[in-house]
Amino acid sequence: MEKIEIGTAVSEAVGISKGDLRIGDMPDGEPIAIPVIIARGKGQGPVLWLNGCVHGDEYCGSYIIHEVMRNLKPEDMSGTVVALPFLNLTGSHVVHRMSPFESFSHGDLNRCFPGNPGGSLTDQMAHAIYSQLKAHADYLIDFHTALTSDTRWALYANADGEVGKKAEGLARAFGIKHTLPAPTDILGGSALMTAAADGIPSYIVEAGGLGPAFDRETVLEGAERLQNVLRHLDMLPGEVTDYGPLTYFSNFAWVNSTRGGLFQAAVRCGDAIEEGTLIGRFYDVFGDLVEEKLSPYAGIVLAVSVGPLMPSGDILVHIGLDPKEV
């Protein structure tokens, strides 16, 4: 077998290897080293790369990755799964989306790929991670979590040719109903689009939320769907589950508050809404109704703010536009 070496994680035979990948240094000079898990199967097959926690406060995917990797039996596998369950360790340490050590850069790791070895800390982190991903991955699944009460949607890089077709295959195998075939001119600097441009079929899962991110049911459901992707790729034996048709949308939009106050949502994730649908109500500190917020868009509700205290300009809901079942 050809050796796979990612940091200190080295795989040369059937089995599971663990180690870490140095992606930068802390202010005191200590290394920033993220965990790497490599599961090497007995048979030949593709390399599926799994990213978790690219934003430091989005944990649901890390739980899903852990659940699957704990239960994989390499002797029953073909191919290799490479899992990096905590990409943005500096953000995770402070429960924040981005690195706390960015003074001048925006610091969003998922807008910095493929990275720059001479750039900001986040640029260097992105470079260290992506150079390994590009060298080894045949497919990419990137897990995210909304900082809302719950979310269930996904997107794949709708690239030309086989790359886009294979990415759509990942989407159908994972089977989250509400999915965006994302045009390649959006989300610049994301792992999704960077990998797709390099010929790697790529898929993002937005799963969980502030509470459901840690629900056992949410984690087990995500793990089963990920195992179904492995069956789809002929990496695990067994029949591939058909989750039925997906609802595609053309793009997405956010609705922001134009005033502050106590927000009480009137919609839920997965709701089909029309333009003018009541999204929620704002109350002042006396408990008086001050505004009924209506949606400027028709579509599918993808995420809803938990509120309750909202400043003006905060995101209320995330909406998938022009839904169509395919």
Q: What's the CATH number where 284 sits? A: 2.40.50.100
Q: Are residues 160 and 307 in the same domain?
A: no
Which CATH number does the domain housing residue 79 bear? 3.40.630.10
Extract the tokens encoding 166: 């294979």
Q: What is the mean pLDDT of the chain?
A: 93
The alpha carbon dihedral of 92, 97, 99, 103 has a sign of negative
Q: Are residues 109 and 18 in the same domain?
A: yes
Do 313 and 260 form a contact (C-beta atoms < 8 A)?
Answer: no
Q: Is residue 282 part of a domain?
A: yes
Please tell me whether residue 308 adopts helix, strand or coil conformation. Answer: coil
Q: Is residue 259 part of a domain?
A: yes
Q: Are residues 43 and 154 in the same domain?
A: yes
28-40 per-position pLDDT tens digit: 999 999 999 999 9
Q: Are residues 126 and 207 in the same domain?
A: yes
- Is the pLDDT at 261 greater than 80? The verdict is yes
Q: Are residues 134 and 274 in the same domain?
A: no
Q: Are residues 302 and 187 in the same domain?
A: no
- Is the pLDDT at 214 greater than 80? The verdict is no
144-161 per-position pLDDT tens digit: 987 677 778 999 999 999
Neighbours of 169 (CB within 10 A): 17
Q: Is residue 241 part of a domain?
A: no
Q: Are residues 226 and 278 in the same domain?
A: no
Q: Is residue 286 part of a domain?
A: yes
Q: Are residues 197 and 310 in the same domain?
A: no
What local confidence, expressed as pLDDT, does residue 96 receive?
81
Q: Are residues 190 and 276 in the same domain?
A: no
Higher pLDDT among residues 196 and 303, named by residue: 196
Eight-state DSSP code of residue 239: P
Closest C-alpha among 147, 205, 150, 209 to residue 180:
205
Q: Are residues 69 and 210 in the same domain?
A: yes
Q: Are residues 218 and 297 in the same domain?
A: no
Do 179 and 186 form a contact (C-beta atoms < 8 A)?
Answer: no
Q: Is residue 106 part of a domain?
A: yes
d(CA 30, CA 240): 45
d(CA 81, CA 100): 30
Closest C-alpha among 144, 148, 112 to residue 130:
112
Number of domains in the chain: 2
Look at the pTM and tell me if it is higher than 0.85: yes
Mean pLDDT within 206-211: 78
Mean pLDDT within 21-46: 96
What phi, psi does 117 have (nearest 5°)?
-65, -15
The answer for residues whose C-beta is within 8 angstroms of residue 299's C-beta and 6 or more apart is 249, 253, 272, 273, 319, 320, 321, 322, 323
Please tell me whether residue 92 adopts helix, strand or coil conformation. Answer: helix
Closest C-alpha among 76, 90, 95 to residue 27:
90
69-113 per-position pLDDT tens digit: 999 999 999 999 999 999 998 888 878 888 888 765 568 999 999
What local confidence, expressed as pLDDT, does residue 243 receive?
97
Do 271 and 300 form a contact (C-beta atoms < 8 A)?
Answer: yes
d(CA 274, CA 294): 10
What local confidence, expressed as pLDDT, does residue 306 receive?
79
Burial class of residue 56, CB neighbours in 10 A (0-12, 13-18, 19+): buried
Neighbours of 45 (CB within 10 A): 18
Mean pLDDT within 168-193: 96
Q: Is residue 203 part of a domain?
A: yes
- Give the angle subtended at the CA of 76 by the CAs of 133 and 172, to the nearest 5°: 60
Q: Is residue 151 part of a domain?
A: yes
Mean pLDDT within 165-176: 98
Q: Is residue 211 part of a domain?
A: yes
Which residues form the domain of 296? Answer: 249-325
Q: Are residues 112 and 213 in the same domain?
A: yes
Higher pLDDT among residues 83 and 58, named by residue: 83
